[in-house]
Each structure stands twice: as structure tokens, then as C-alpha cells.
Amino acid sequence: MEVLAPRGTRDILPDEVGVWRRIEEEARDLLESFGFSEIRTPLFEHTELFVRGIGEATDIVEKEMYTFSDKGGRSLTLRPEGTAPVARAYVEHRMFSFGRVQKLYYIGPMFRYERPQFGRYRQHWQIGGEVLGSDSPSVDAELIFLSSQILKRLGMKDMEIGISSIGCSSCRRDFKTALREYLSRNKQALCGTCIERMERNIMRVLDCKEEGCKAVLQGAPSMLEYLCDDCSRHFEGVRKRLSIMGVDHFIDGHLVRGLDYYTRTVFEISYRIREGKIALVGGGRYDSLIEMLGGPPTPAAGFAMGVDRVVLALGEMRGKDERPSVFVAAVGEGLFDVAFRIAEGIRNGITGISVIIGDEREPLKKQLREASRWGAKLSVIIGPDELRDGSVSIKDMETGDQEKVAMDMVLDRIRRKAKGDEV
Ligand code: AMP
């Protein structure tokens, strides 16, 4: 029986990889231009990290984790997100003692046992940035600016940026009381999960996608009305800086995020696609996470961008231009050594080019057909004539023109022709 990729995972085939690489390269370039450095954490962690970090009563921890015991009996979990691992590494390596704010970024796969659908996979990729050690509203604004800038550089327009503040634990207390009162009055319209959530983690109700619950939530109190003075001032600070940076955004008083560690600023960048809206970026501030993981009190904020979804949003946009390729066709058994030497000479002598060697046992016609299938710009032909007078023929595969070139001029001719440097 055929073995297929597991449900919710897929292969990124070579045709599509160009777009992925372009996204990664733009993101790296921009992140590094803002002072971020890359960090690579393991793909699996102790389960406890996510239970403590993300929160027990969240969808991710309750339903979506790939958790397993290894042969040593440890409970491990494939990372469902990147912030808790970065925070863990920050504490483990005592980066708080490095004397300055840390700006870290990561690129890699995340694993969530979710119901697969358009733009939702069980393995998806995220590009994330984290700033640890500052409570300045400038950091929040910069993260929003930066993540929207990555999308803009990729050519995306019309993203929607929603922001809110979910305050600190003290202002959230009053809000939760008000929300509980409101939801109790409308309990009959809520789904079973939300009725349960009201007891376990009432903020999660705000995130429910059920139509009935969404209708109830329209009239729910907004977190923004309950912010304490400090949180309110912080939120105003973020908005002021966003307007200085020219970032269009709207306030979404019901915005919450699926992870418990957020405090104060939360934001989401979404995009309209196929009559729906998908979230491309999510992020916010998490001032208590580092302490929860055993570090000193350390304010922090971050964002995560879903690469799979950015690829969908970019649609048919082409990726990086492929390298021009050259096909080496030696004709005659025993000529592999000549073909190999010429190919290596081109690879080592000309950067940004790819060289494919034909099967020297095949006739020229067949090899040239193969060259066309590769989309080769040029073919280097070595047959009995060429061997005799120490030359090769170079065939332009687009025009069909062919010329004989002395061996010591081969690189020069190819460089000019294949790389379009001809004057
Ligand atoms: P989150 O960690 O849930 O805030 O996710 C950050 C971003 O990752 C989202 O805005 C999405 O773009 C993307 N994302 C999250 N879950 C998935 C998934 N299951 N499949 C594809 N992309 C996802």
C-alpha cells in the first residue's frame, strides 16, 4: 500500500520552494536590519514548558499538542509555537544578565493537532521575533511595524492590522467579573465549550468561532474599558508610535490571543482571501512569561508570522528567479571524464549558475531534448569533431545558434551568454 504524508502535513515541492525562500530571505534581512539575531531551539521540549508557558486551559495545551514519552519515560512535546522555547532559552542561558535588551528571531516548523482546512495544517512554519527586557511601547509598535513591513516588502497590500490591550492581571480581574456577568445573562446562546470555558478560562470565550457565541460577543464589554491607568497609558503610547510610523490600524476591543501568556498589547494582521479572512501574523506583549519560567521579572513582546499562509496570500507570485542553467552534452562512450571536467570548470568559475551533465551514451539529439526539458539556456557540446581540434560547441537553446569555441575561451563565452553580460 502507498504511504502518504500524514494528514495535515504536506511536501513543499521545488516549484513552490522559491516563494518560501524569498519570504525567509526578506524576513531575515529586515529582522537583522532591526538588530535581531537568529536563535535555533529544539523542535521538541519538555511538555511542562508549554503547559506552564501557554496555559493549561488553552486550546493548544488541551487539544492540540503532539505529546509523547521517549524511551527514557520523559514527556516531550513537539513545539506548537516558538515563544515559550525562546523564553526558556533566554532563562536557561541567563541572557537577562547580558546587559541589554535581547532581540531574537526564529524560523521553523510548529506542530499542532488541529482540524486541517484551508490555511490550517498540523505542521506549519512560523517566522517570529521576540524582544526581551523592555516594557517600552516603542517595542510593541516596532514589532507591528516590522511584521507588516515584511509583508509589504513581499508585495502584499491591504492587510488589516487590529490591535488591542488585554491589560495586566489587575485590570483583567475587573474585566473578567464584568464579562462573567454579561455571559451568564446570555448563557443560553453559548456553545458547550464556552460554558465550560467560563469556569476555567473565561478570556478564551472571546476567541470562540461558533456563530452563536460570536453574536453574543458582539455586545460583550470591551477589555479596553477596564484598563488601569498604567496599561491605558501604555496602550496610548503604542498607538501614538504607530501613527508616527504611519501604520494604519484599527482597534479591536475583543481581540484576544490563543495563549495565556499575553499581557497588555495584542495584535493580529489579517488578509482577505477567498471571501474570508485569515490571520497572517499574531503577537503581543508577555510581561510575566519569563518569570513564570523561573527567570527574573522581564517584560517582553513578540510576533509570529505564519509562512504557509503568507504563501497562500501571495498566490501565484513567482519566487526567486532560478539560476540560468547550462547543459553539458558529451557524445560518445568514455567521454564522461571530459564532460565532468568541463562541468566542474563552469561551476567553479562562474557563480550563480547550475550545470547539468547529459548521459554521454545517448545520441546528441536526445541529449539536447533533455537540455530543453531542463530549461537550459546553453548547451556545451563535445563530439568527435570538437575532441579532434580541442574545442567545444556552444548552442544557444533559445535561438538555436551554435558556435565553436576554443577550450580556453569556454568560460568567458558562457559567462557572457548565460548571465546576459553580452555587450
Ligand atoms: P499563533 O501562535 O496561534 O499566534 O499563530 C501565529 C501565526 O501562525 C498565525 O497568525 C497564523 O498565520 C499561523 N498559524 C497558526 N496556526 C496555524 C496552522 N495550524 N496552520 C497554518 N498556519 C498557522
DSSP 250-261: EE-TT---SSTT
Q: With a 6 A CB cut-off, is 120 part of the ligand 1 pocket?
A: yes
Rounded CA separation 114/338 (Å)? 54
Q: What is the mean pLDDT of residues 348-355?
A: 92
CA-closest candidate to residue 347, choices 296, 409, 414: 414
Residue 377: how many CB atoms within 10 A of its CB? 20
Rounded CA separation 64/207 (Å)? 16
What does the block give as the cell for 399?
535561438
Q: What is the mean pLDDT of residues 242-268?
A: 89
- Is the pTM higher than 0.75? yes
293 with 53: CB under 8 angstroms?
A: yes
Measured CA distances, 393 to 16, 336, 345, 349, 401 (Å): 34, 16, 16, 18, 10
Ligand 1 centroid – CA 373 distance (Å): 38
Q: Kindly state the helix (H) or strand (E) to which residue 402 belongs, with its residue range.
A: strand 402-406
CA-closest candidate to residue 166, choices 285, 289, 247: 285
Q: What band does 116 get if pLDDT is binned at 50, 70 and 90?
A: very high
What does the block give as the cell for 15?
516549484
| Strand residue runs (E) in 262-401 | 263-273, 276-285, 300-306, 325-330, 354-357, 378-382, 391-396
Nearest CA to ligand 1 atom 8: 306
Q: What percent helix, strand, coil does the chain show, rounded to 5?
A: 45, 25, 35
Given a cut of 50, whether residue 423 has pLDDT beyond it is no
378 with 403: CB under 8 angstroms?
A: no
Ligand 1 centroid – CA 12 distance (Å): 18
Rounded CA separation 286/269 (Å)? 18
What does the block give as the cell for 13?
515541492
Ligand 1 centroid – CA 279 distance (Å): 7
**14-168+228-317 and 325-414: identical CATH topology:** no
Give the length of the chain. Answer: 423
- Look at phi and psi of residue 351 and say left if phi exceeds 0, alpha if psi is from -120 to 50, else beta: beta
pLDDT computed for residue 421 by the predictor: 56
pLDDT one-digit tens code per residue, 294-335:
999 999 999 999 999 999 998 855 555 578 899 999 998 889
pLDDT one-digit tens code per residue, 373-415:
999 999 999 998 888 888 999 999 999 999 999 989 999 999 9
pLDDT one-digit tens code per residue, 20-62:
999 999 999 999 999 999 999 999 999 999 999 888 878 888 8
Atom of ligand 1 nearest to the CA of 82: 2
Q: With a 6 A CB cut-off, is 59 part of the ligand 1 pocket?
A: no
Q: With a 6 A CB cut-off, is 79 part of the ligand 1 pocket?
A: no
pLDDT one-digit tens code per residue, 200-250:
888 888 888 888 988 998 889 988 999 999 999 999 999 999 999 999 999
Which residue in this structure is represented by grid cell 511536501?
A: 11
Q: Give the full edge-to-edge strand order of the sheet including 276-285.
A: 37-38, 102-111, 123-132, 300-306, 276-285, 263-273, 160-165, 250-251
Parallel, antiparallel or unpaired: strands 263-273 and 378-382:
unpaired
Percentage with pLDDT > 70 across the chain:
97
Ligand 1 centroid – CA 175 distance (Å): 27
347 with 323: CB under 8 angstroms?
A: no
341 with 392: CB under 8 angstroms?
A: no
Class of domain 14-168+228-317: alpha beta
pLDDT computed for residue 306 by the predictor: 98
Residue 367 makes CB contacts below 8 A (sequence gap 6+) with 327, 329, 331, 358, 359, 379
pLDDT computed for residue 422 by the predictor: 47
58 with 197: CB under 8 angstroms?
A: no
80 with 64: CB under 8 angstroms?
A: yes
Q: Kindly state the helix (H) or strand (E) to which residue 33 belongs, with its residue range.
A: helix 14-33
Domain locations in the chain?
14-168+228-317, 325-414
64 with 112: CB under 8 angstroms?
A: yes
What does the block give as the cell for 35?
538588530
Q: With a 6 A CB cut-off, is 197 part of the ligand 1 pocket?
A: no
Q: Kindly state the helix (H) or strand (E) to which residue 335 belongs, with its residue range.
A: none
How far separated are the first and last CA of the chain, in Å rounded?
57
CATH homologous superfamily, domain 325-414 = Anticodon-binding domain (3.40.50.800)
pLDDT computed for residue 290 by the predictor: 96
Classify residue 223 by its DSSP letter: G
Measured CA distances, 218 to 122, 151, 348 (Å): 30, 30, 64
Classify residue 220 by its DSSP letter: S
Half-sphere exposure for 100 (CA within 13 Å, toward CB): 4
Residue 50 makes CB contacts below 8 A (sequence gap 6+) with 60, 61, 65, 77, 79, 80, 81, 84
pLDDT computed for residue 420 by the predictor: 67
What does the block give as the cell for 6?
500524514
| Strand residue runs (E) in 294-401 | 300-306, 325-330, 354-357, 378-382, 391-396
Name the residue of 58, 147, 148, 308 whose CB sits within 8 Å of the most ligand 1 atoms, as the mutation to test its pocket: 308
